Amino acid sequence: MSTLIDSRKALDTIPGLVWSSAPDGYISYLNQRWLEFTGFTLEQGVGWGWRDAIHPDDLPALEAYWRSLLPTGTEGETEARLKRFDGSYRWFLFRAVPVFTDEGELEEWYGQTTDIDDLKRTEARLAGESRVLKIAASGKPLATVLEALCLLVEDNFDSRLCGIVLVDPGGVKLVHGAAPSLPGSYSAAIHGRPVSVDSGPCAMAASLGEVVITPDVLLETRWQEYAWCELALEHGLRACWSTPIHGTTGKVLGTFAIYSREPGVPGQELSDMIDHFAHLASIVIERIYAVEALHASQHIALGQYHALRNALDALAQESEPDKILHHVLCTMNQQLDSHSCSLWRKVENSDYMRFEFAFEDGVVVTNSDPILSTISPSLKIDDVWPWPEVFRTGKPFLISDIPNGTTFPWQQHVIMLGIRSILIVPILVQGRVEGVIGIRFTRRRDFAAVDLDLAQALTNQLTLALQLIRLSNISQEAAVMAERNRMARDIHDTLAQGFAGVVVQLEAAADANARGLYQEAEQHLGRVSELARNCLQEARRSVHALRPQVLETKSLWEALRDMQQAMTRDTTLHAEFTLAGRSRSVPPPWEENLLHIGQEILANCLRHAKASHFSTYILFSEQSVLMRCSDDGIGFDRHLRSDGFGLRGIQERVEGMAGKFVLRSAAGDGTTIEIELPLSAANLE
C-alpha cells in the first residue's frame, strides 16, 4: 500500500498529465496535474467521466480509438483538444501504453497526455500562410487574398477581429483592403480617410510608420475631432492595435489592425504574431502590385501597338486625311470602350482654344454640322472647366457626372447623346499642352491609373497621326507648288519666248505683205512654222515631265514591284510579285497606265478586301503582255456594288490601250483581275 501511495505521489509531481486505467479502459487514476488543468475532481474524472473534458468535435474519434486498443492491448497515440479549467481548449497528444503480467496477461494501462497546442497552432498557421500564398500566386484579386489573410489571423487570435487598409498610390488616403468580420459600416467610414495623425489609429500608423495601440477606447483622448472613438464604440470595439505594413523600400503600403471587443494590450507573443502577419501582408501586397504593374504595362503596350499598327495601316491604305483620322479615332474608341470624342486645339500665341472636330456615330464632324455650329468655334481656356487644370498639370481629368456637374458650352449636346462621363486628356507636343481631347462615355466611369495611362498613350498616338497628316498635306502642297513653278519656268523660258518670236514673225510677214514684198512675207511665215513646231515640242516635253517620276529611273516592272512592297510594308497583307517570259519595253503611256492600274487594284485590296495574300503576275508572250492581280479576300458581287473600286476608270484605261479586261469575283472567294494588252497594238520602235 505504501508503494502505491509513493508511486502516486511521484506521478503527481511529473510535469505532465498522467493517468492509468484497468484493462477494460475504466480510468482508475488521474494525477494532480491532470486535475489542476481540467478543474475536475478525481471523482468526476475516473471511470468514463474524463470524456466531459474532451472537445465535443474530437470525442467520438478519441473514444472509438481508445476502445479499439483495449481488445488487442496495443499501445497507441492520437490527438484531441482538452478543456482547461477556464473553458478554453488546447491540443494534446494522448498516448496509452499497456502493462502485462509475467504470464502475459494485460494488467493495466498507463498513459500521458502531452500539450501540443503551440505545435498545432504553428502547423495550422504555416498551412494557412501557405494557402494564402497559393491564392496570391493563382492570380486572385488582392481583396480576395487579403480577406483570406484576415481569416487566418482571426483563426490564430481567438475573439479578435482583423482589418487591413491600404494606402492609395498617391499616399494621401486610406483605401479599404479587407475586413471580413468587421461591420461593413465601420469599414466604409474608414475608407477614404486622409493619411494623417488626426484620422484614427490606422491613419496615424500609416502616417508615422509606427505601431499605434489603443488599450481602451473609452479612455482614449486622441482623434476627438474625427470622433473615431464614438465610431468604434458604436460598433462594439473597445481596443485596437494598428501596425504599419512596410514594403521592401520602407514605404508604408497600408496598416494591419487587430480589434478586440474587450479592453487590453497585446502581450509579447501576440505582438510578435502581429508583426509576423504584417510582414506576410507586405509580401502578398507587393507581389500582387508587381503582377498588376506588369499586366498594366502589357495592357498599355498592347493598346499602343494596336493603335499604332492601325494608324500605320491607315496611312499606307488611305490617301485622304479624313479617312486616316477616321481609322485612328475608331481604334481609340474600341480600345477605351468609349462612345465618341471631341478635339480642341490651342490657338498659337493666345489663351483661346479652337474646336477642330468631333467623332460621333462613327463619323468625323466639324463646325459645319448644324448642331455643332451653334457652339462657339473659339473659347477662352480659363472659361471652360477643367481646361485650366489640365493645362496646369498636364494630366487627364475626369468629369464623372455630366448631367449634374459644372456646365460647359456643349453640355446639352452631349447629354442628348446619352453621355454620362468625359475624360479630358491633354494633347502633348514636346512636353507642352497644345490642346485636349474629350473622350466620352455613356456610363459613369472610374479610371484606375493604368486606364489613364492607356488613354494618354492613345491620345499621343492620335497626336502623332494628326502630325503625320499635317506634314503629308504640307508635302503635297509643296509638291504641287514646285510643279507649278517648274511649269511656269518652262512656259516663261521656252514657250513664252517661242510664241513671242511667232508674234514678231507674223507682224513682220504682215508688214512685208502690205508692202508687196510677197517673197519676204513667205520667208517670215516659214520661220513662224518652224517656231511653232519648236514650241509644240517644248509643250510636249513639259507635259511629259508630269509622268510618274519613278518611271524616269526604273522600268515599269521594277516600279510595280517596288510600289507593291512599299504599300504593303508593315501591314497584314503578304504580297508576291512574279515576272515571267522575256521582258519587253512598252510605250510610256502604257507604262503610266499600268502603274496607275496596279496602284488602284492594290489600294482597293488594302481598303476593302480584308485579304491576307495578294499576288501580281506579269507574263510576256510573243503576241501580248498579261497582268494578273489576285487576292484571297472577301470578294464582292459586282452587280450589287457601286463603282467605288475605280473599276470603270481601270476599264477605260485598258480600252484606251486596245486591251482586254476580265474580272472574276464572288462573295467569300477573293478577286482576280486580268489585263491583256496586244503588243501588236504598241509602238515598240
Q: What whole-number distance in Å separates Cα of residue 357 and Cα of residue 366?
A: 5
Task: Output Rg (C-alpha) for the chain, integer angstroms.
Answer: 46
Grid cell digits, residue 6: 509513493
Q: What pLDDT is attached to residue 3?
A: 45
State the SS3 of 154-167: HHHCCCEEEEEEEE
Q: Residue 491: pLDDT above 60?
A: no
What would the pLDDT profile of 55-89 be if each residue is shown by its tens digit? Answer: 999 999 999 999 999 888 899 999 999 999 988 88
What angle separates helix 117-137 from helix 142-156, to the nearest 10 degrees? 180
Whether residue 386 has a cis bond before it, omega within 30° of 0:
yes
What is the percent of the chain with per-residue pLDDT over 90, rounded to a whole number? 31
Phi, psi of 358 (to 5 degrees): -125, 155
Tally of CA atoms within 13 A in the half-sphere of 10 that contains its CB: 6
C-alpha triplet 20, 25, 27: angle, nearest 5°: 40
Do 227 and 205 touch, CB atoms closer than 8 A? no
Q: What pLDDT is attached to residue 644?
A: 44
State whether residue 244 is helix, strand or coil. strand
What would the pLDDT profile of 553-592 be if each residue is shown by its tens digit? Answer: 788 888 888 888 877 775 678 999 999 988 888 888 888 8
CATH, domain range 2-115: 3.30.450.20
Q: What whole-number distance in Å separates Cα of residue 466 and Cα of residue 253?
A: 41
Q: What pLDDT is attached to residue 424?
A: 94
Least confident range from 107-116, 198-207, 647-656: namely 647-656
C-alpha triplet 138, 144, 148: angle, nearest 5°: 95
State whether residue 107 is helix, strand or coil. strand
Q: pTM here? A: 0.46
Grid cell digits, residue 308: 499604332
Residue type, 334: Q
Q: What whole-number distance in Å separates Cα of residue 499 and Cα of residue 486?
A: 18
Q: What pLDDT is attached to residue 371?
A: 64
Least confident range from 359-373, 484-498, 640-654: namely 484-498
Q: Residue 359: pLDDT above 70?
A: yes
In 16-141, which residue ranges form alpha helices assigned H by DSSP? 32-38, 42-45, 59-69, 117-137
CATH topology of domain 318-447: Beta-Lactamase (3.30.450)
CATH 3.20.19.10 fits 121-292, yes or no: no
Grid cell digits, residue 7: 508511486
Phi, psi of 396 (to 5 degrees): -65, 155
- Which CATH number, 3.30.365.10, 3.60.20.40, 3.30.565.10, 1.20.210.10, labels domain 550-681? 3.30.565.10
Q: Residue 485: pLDDT above 70?
A: no
Q: Tell me if domain 2-115 and domain 318-447 are identical in fold.
A: yes
Residue 283 confidence class, pLDDT cut points 50, 70, 90: confident
Do 592 and 544 touch, CB atoms closer than 8 A? no
Instruction: Please name the residues in contact with 139: beta carbons below 8 A apart, sequence gap of 6 or more.
Output: 291
Closest CA to 34 of 126, 125, 124, 113: 113
Q: What pLDDT is attached to residue 4?
A: 47
End-to-end CA gap in the chain: 142
Q: What pLDDT is attached to residue 161?
A: 92
**Where do the domains of the chain lie?**
2-115, 121-292, 318-447, 475-544, 550-681
Hey, what long-range contacts does 45-50 have (CB within 8 A, 24 or more apart)? 50/19
Q: What whole-number distance in Å separates Cα of residue 571 and Cα of residue 315?
A: 10
Of 372 and 208, more confident: 208
Closest CA to 422 of 403, 450, 394: 403
